[in-house]
Structure 1
Amino acid sequence: MYEIINPILPGFNPDPSIIRVEDDYYIATSTFEWFPGVQIHHSRDLKNWRLLPHPLTRKSQIDMLGNPDSGGAWAPCLSYHDGTFYLIYTDVKSHKTVFKDTHNYLVTATDIMGPWSEPIYLNSSGFDPSLFHDDDGKKWLLNMVWDHRKGKNSFGGTLIQEYSEEEQKLVGPIRNIFKGTEIGLTEGPHIYKKDGYYYLLTAEGGTRLKHAATMARSKSLFGPYEVDPTNPILTSYEKPELVLQKAGHASLVETQDGEWYMVHLCGRQLKPSLHCNLGRETAIQKCEWTEDGWIRLAGGGNSPKEIVEGPSLPEYPFDDEPTKEEFDSAELNIHFNSLRVPFEENWVTLQERPGYLRLYGRESLNSVHRQSLLARRQQGFNVDVETVVEFEPQTFQQMAGLIYYYNNRNYFYLRVSHDEQLGKCLGIMTSNRGRYDEPLEQEVSIQGLDRVYLKARIADENFQFFYSTDGNEWMKIGPILNASILSDENAEVIDDGVFMEQGFTGAFIGMCVQDLSGQNMHADFDYFSYEENER
C-alpha cells in the first residue's frame, strides 16, 4: 500500500471531474480564459498523473475572443458511456454583474486523446453542467440555474433536462430538483446511482473559504432529495490549521476493486497573506460507505487530509518531464497556454527560425482580445524560471520579455523596450488591481546587446527578477515584489455587496511581446526553463 500526497494536480486545476474507464482514470479541470480549453490528466494509480492533449483546441469549439478575465471554460464534466467520452463545459461570456452569460456545450470523442467533435449547444440557464447516464440508456443534463432577480437566491437550484443523443439537443420538461441547503450558493451538481438511490453531489458555500461538498439522495431522479444528516461531507471552513483550504466542488470514482475516492477543489495559502497564488488545485480523499448508505471520508470527519491511503493498485509512475524547453520540436510544449485565442502562425511560430520560439507583438497586457503571450502554470511555491530573448525594438511601444501574470489587472513584467535616451533598455512594469507602476528609478541600458537573459525567482510570497548579459553572471533588477497579489483573493473587488471584479484562476509565468505601434515587431526566445525547488 502506498500513500498519496495532496494536491494531486498542483497549481491552477480547479473544479475536478473524475471518471474511470477500465484501468484508466481521467480528471478534467477548468481552464477559464486560457487556451487550449480544459485540462485532462491521466492516471492508473490515483497518485501519479500526466497531462494529456487538451480537448478544446479549435476556435470553433470555444471562441473566447473578448471574454473577460476568469470567463471562458468553467467546470467541465467528463463522462464515458458505451465507447464514447462526453465532455460538457460552459463558455462564460460575462460574470461581473448581476447577470451571467453562460453557454453550455457538449463535445465527444471515441479516444481520450482526441480528436474531439465540434460542439453541440445545450443551454445558457446557468453554469457547472454535467451529464448523467442512467441505467435505462437515457441521458440527463444538470446545471445550476442563475437567478438575476432582486431579492431572489441567485444560485436558484439544480435544473435537470433530458438530452436526446439522436436529436443532439435537450428535450422534454425542465425540472428544478434541488434548491440546496442552508450553506447556500449551490452549484457543481453530479449524480451517481448506487443501490437503488440517486446520489446528488453538489458544491456549496462559494469557492472561497466557506466552500463545501454536500450530498443528498433520492429514490427518484427528480427528487425529493434527502440531505445527508451529517452534511457537509467535506469542508475546510473554520479550520485554519488545515493545509488544504477551500475544500469543495467534488467528484466521485469507484476503483476496479470497489474502493471509493473523491477528488475535490482545494487551495494552499501563502503566509502571512493567506492568499493562494497557485490558484485552486485538485486533491483526493479516500471514502467509505456507511451501513445506512451515506458516503464518508475514510477515518471519519469531513476535513480534507494532506496524506491519503492509496488504493489496492500497483503504482504506475510516469517519466519526469524536462525542466528546460529548447523549442526544437515542431509543436509547442503541452504545458504552454495562450490567452483566449488559439496558437496560430501569424503570432506564434516555431517554424520561421528553427530552434527558437518567435512571438509577434500585438495588443497590450490590458487586452481581452489579441495578446501575444505564452505561459505555463506556477505549480510550486518555490520556482526558478529563465529565458533568453533577442529583440530589436525601435520605439517605447514595442516590448518583449518575461511575464508573471494572473490577469490583465495583476502582473509583473520584466521587459526589453526602447527609450529615446537609453536606446535598447530593460525595465519592469507592474499592475496591482489595475494600478500601473514602473518600480525602477532608472531603466538599464542594454544598447548593443543582441540578446539578454531574463530570470525570475519565486520564493513563497517573495518574487525577484534578474538579468544577465551572458547567462552566467546574474544581477538583480528591481525590488523584491509581492507574489501573493497574483491570486484570486487580491483580484476580488466588492462594492456595496456586488462583485465588481472576481478571479478564479492562478499565477502563470512565461513570455510575451507587445507592439502597440501596430508594426508587429517580433521577438525570438531561445529556451524557457521552469524548475521547482525546495527552499
Structure 2
Amino acid sequence: MKIQNPVLTGFNADPSMIRVGDTYYIANSTFEWFPGVRLHESKDMVHWNLLPSPLSTTTLLDMKGNPSSGGIWAPDLSYADGKFWLIYTDVKITEGAFKDMTNYLTTATDIHGPWSDPIKVNGVGFDASLFHDKNGRKYLVQQTWDHREYRQPFNGITLTEFDTSTMKLKPETARNIYNGTEVKLVEGPHLYQINDEYYLFAAQGGTVFTHEEVVARSKSLDKLSFESEPDGPFITNFDTPDFYLQKQGHGALVDTPGGEWYYASLVSRPWNHENESSHDPRGWSTLGRETSIQKVEWDDQGWPRVVGGHGGQVEVDAPKDAIETKAPANHSRHDEFDQPKLDIDWNTLRVPFSKEMGSFGDGQLKLIGRDSLASTFNTSFLAQRWQAFNFDAETKVKFDPFTYQQMAGLSNFYNDKHWSWIFITWDEKKGHVIEVAQNDNNDYTSFLKDDAIKIPDGTDYVWFRTKVRKSYYTYEYSFDGQKWNEIDVKLDAAILSDDYVLQNYGGFFTGAFVGLAAVDYSGYEQPATFDYFDYKELDD
C-alpha cells in the first residue's frame, strides 16, 4: 500500500498523531468551528475514518464571541496510564500584541469518550503538548507568548512539570529549553524520549510558505540544553516552490509496531490563476492546511531525516505491518436530516447546534433566522469542509421572508469577513426573490440587485446548487429540482483561501466551508426549512 498525500484533505491542520497498539490516531485543530478537535483513526496510515469530536459540549468548550481563527489551536493527543490525554487551547485574541488564551486538559479511557470535565492548566502560550517521561514525570511543553513590542513575541519553548497528584502545573519548575534558530517564530513543540535522549520537534517560520519543522535534542531537560539538528530543517517546502505539497512543518512523530518511523505534518496545496506566476504569488490554499504523512529514517548521527529529502513526497510507502483499513473512497455524502443526531461532518460556529438555532429530524432541517454571517455571536449556520478542489453541493429550501432583512440559502464561507451565498429574500417591488452576494473583507456586494430573480407565486421550495471548480465557483437555482439555471456570476475561489485572508487579517488558519444558513437580523426569527444537503466530489 501507498500513502497518498495529503491523507486528510481540506482543513485538517496541526496534526498530533499517536499510536495505541495497532491503531493510529490524529487530532487536528478546529479553531472557531464546533465541535472542537477533529479526530481520525487508521490501522494502515493510508485510509482514515472520522471519529466523534471530543469537545462536544459547552462545558468543554464555549467560543461564543471568539474571533475567526481563534478557538482551538494545535491540540495535543497522547496516551499514557491507560487513558487518552488531550491538551487544547482556546485562543480569545488573534490580532495585536496579546494572545489571551487558556490551555485545558481533558482525559478519556476510550477515544470515543466520554471526556472528563476540563482542567485549566495555564495561559503561558499556545500549541501546548503533554510529555510523559519514562521516569513517571509529566511535563507541559509549549510555545511562550511575549506581548512586549520590543521583544520577539515567540519567546522560546517552555517546559513545566505537571503534578498528577494535584492535576496542576508546578510553575516554579518552568524553564526555557529551546529558542529555535534564526528563522524564529518557534512554536508547535512535541517532545519524545528515544533511547537515552530527548528529541524536541518544533515548527518555525510562521504557518505560511516559509513554514518549517526543526528538530533539537538533549541528554537532559535542563534550561536551554537542546542543540539543533545539523543540515536542517527537518521538513520544509520553502525551497521547493514547484512541488505539489507546500507549507509542511508543524506535526508529530510516531513509530510503528515494527520499528518504522513516520511524521504527520500540516500541508497545503495552493493553486494559481492562469495569468499568475506560480512563484509569486505562490498560490491560493482554498482547502486550507491539510495533513500529510512522510516516512522518517535516522542517520548515523542519530538525527531523523525525511525520506526523499526535506521537501517530502506525495506518495509514501505505508508501514510494512499495516493492517488494511476500510474507509470511504472520497468524501461525497448526502443528508436527508432523518436521523436523531447530526452527522459528524456538520459544524457550527463557536457553539453547538441548539434549539435557538433550530431543529432537525423527520427529513427536514429547520434553521431559525438570527445574526448575519458577519457575526461572531448568534448565527444559524451548518457547514461542512471543502475537501476537494472540484465538487457540487446542493440543497432544497422553503422560506417565507417579509423583509429584506430576512435571508436563507446556500453559502460558501471562510470566515465572518469572507463568504458568499445564494439566498431567498424579500424585495419591495418583486416580493420573494433570489439574490447572490459576496462579502470580500467586509466589502459586501449584491450581484443581482434590481435584476434579482423573482420566485413565481405559489412556489413552496427553491433548489440551490453551487459548482466549485478549483479557481472559481458559481451558483444555480431551480424551481422543480430538474431544470437548473446558472446565474451569470463567476466568483474567485481565492477569496476563500488562507493566503488571501492573510493579506488583511491575522487569523487565516482554517479553510473553505459550504453550508446552510438562515439570517433574520430584524429579530423576528423567521425560520427556513431545508429538505436535504448533497455534497458530491468530482475528479480533480
Is the aligned partner of 1:234 residue 2:244? Answer: no
Alpha-carbon distance in structure 1 between the residues aligned to 2:333 and 2:86: 31
Deviations 1:233-288 (A, max 9, x none): 10000311111101110200000100100000110012226110100000000111
For residue 527 of structure 2, the aligned residue among 496, 514, 522 is 522
Deviations 1:68-98 (A, max 9, x none): 0100000000000021100001100002101
Deviations 1:468-523 (A, max 9, x none): 011111001141110111011111245xxxxx543111000010001111111111
Alpha-carbon distance in structure 1 between the residues aligned to 2:358 and 2:113: 23
Say whether the 8 Å CA contact 2:368–2:528 is kept in structure 1. Answer: yes
Alpha-carbon distance in structure 2 between the residues aligned to 1:405 and 1:482: 13
Secondary structure at 1:333 match in 2: coil
Alpha-carbon distance in structure 2 between the residues aligned to 1:50 and 1:440: 42
For residue 366 of structure 2, the aligned residue among 358, 365, 385 is 358
TM alignment of 1:284-363, pairs within 5 A: 284-299=293-308, 301-312=309-320, 313-319=322-328, 323-351=333-361, 354-363=362-371
Amino acid at match of 1:190: H
For residue 385 of structure 1, the aligned residue among 369, 372, 393 is 393
Say whether the 8 Å CA contact 2:286–2:512 is kept in structure 1. Answer: yes
Alpha-carbon distance in structure 2 between the residues aligned to 1:72 and 1:60: 14
Secondary structure at 2:500 match in 1: helix
Deviations 1:142-173 (A, max 9, x none): 11111111221110000111111221110142
Alpha-carbon distance in structure 2 between the residues aligned to 1:461 and 1:257: 43
Secondary structure at 2:14 match in 1: coil
Amino acid at match of 1:43: S
- Give the CA deviation at 1:439: 1.2
User: In 2 relative to 1, CA 12–319 (structure 1 residues): closer, same or farther, beyond 3 Å?
Assistant: closer
* The 10-residue stretch of structure 1 (33-42 or 312-321) with the greater mean CA deviation from structure 2: 312-321
Is the aligned partner of 1:152 residue 2:151? Answer: yes
% same residue: 45
Amino acid at match of 1:249: H
- Give the CA deviation at 1:346: 2.5
Is the aligned partner of 1:281 residue 2:294? Answer: no
- Give the CA deviation at 1:100: 0.8
TM alignment of 1:51-450, pairs within 5 A: 51-171=50-170, 172-222=172-222, 223-272=224-273, 274-299=283-308, 301-312=309-320, 313-319=322-328, 323-351=333-361, 354-441=362-449, 442-446=451-455, 447-450=457-460
Alpha-carbon distance in structure 2 between the residues aligned to 1:416 and 1:270: 32
Say whether the 8 Å CA contact 1:440–1:478 is kept in structure 2. Answer: no
Match of 1:533 in 2: 538
Q: What root-mean-square deviation, in Å, do the aligned CA atoms of Structure 1 and Structure 2 show?
A: 1.2
Alpha-carbon distance in structure 1 between the residues aligned to 2:126 and 2:426: 45
Say whether the 8 Å CA contact 1:493–1:502 is kept in structure 2. Answer: no
Secondary structure at 1:479 match in 2: coil
TM alignment of 1:29-48, pairs within 5 A: 29-48=28-47
Alpha-carbon distance in structure 2 between the residues aligned to 1:507 and 1:246: 17
Amino acid at match of 2:240: K
Say whether the 8 Å CA contact 1:439–1:478 is kept in structure 2. Answer: no
Say whether the 8 Å CA contact 2:70–2:507 is kept in structure 1. Answer: no
- Give the CA deviation at 1:102: 1.6
Q: Number of matched residues?
A: 526
* The 10-residue stretch of structure 1 (380-389 or 301-310) with the greater mean CA deviation from structure 2: 301-310
Secondary structure at 2:407 match in 1: strand
Amino acid at match of 2:462: V
- Give the CA deviation at 1:319: 4.4
Structure 2 segments unaligned to the other structure (5+ residues): 277-282
Q: Which runs of 4+ in 1 moved over 6 A?
A: none
Amino acid at match of 1:176: N
Amino acid at match of 1:137: G
TM-score, normalised on structure 1? Answer: 0.97
Say whether the 8 Å CA contact 2:8–2:290 is kept in structure 1. Answer: yes
TM-score, normalised on structure 2? Answer: 0.96
Is the aligned partner of 1:456 residue 2:466? Answer: yes
Alpha-carbon distance in structure 2 between the residues aligned to 1:366 and 1:339: 11
- Give the CA deviation at 1:392: 0.8
Structure 1 segments unaligned to the other structure (5+ residues): 495-499
Deviations 1:303-334 (A, max 9, x none): 12111111112322224566211111111111
Alpha-carbon distance in structure 2 between the residues aligned to 1:424 and 1:89: 46
* The 10-residue stretch of structure 1 (476-485 or 198-207) with the greater mean CA deviation from structure 2: 476-485
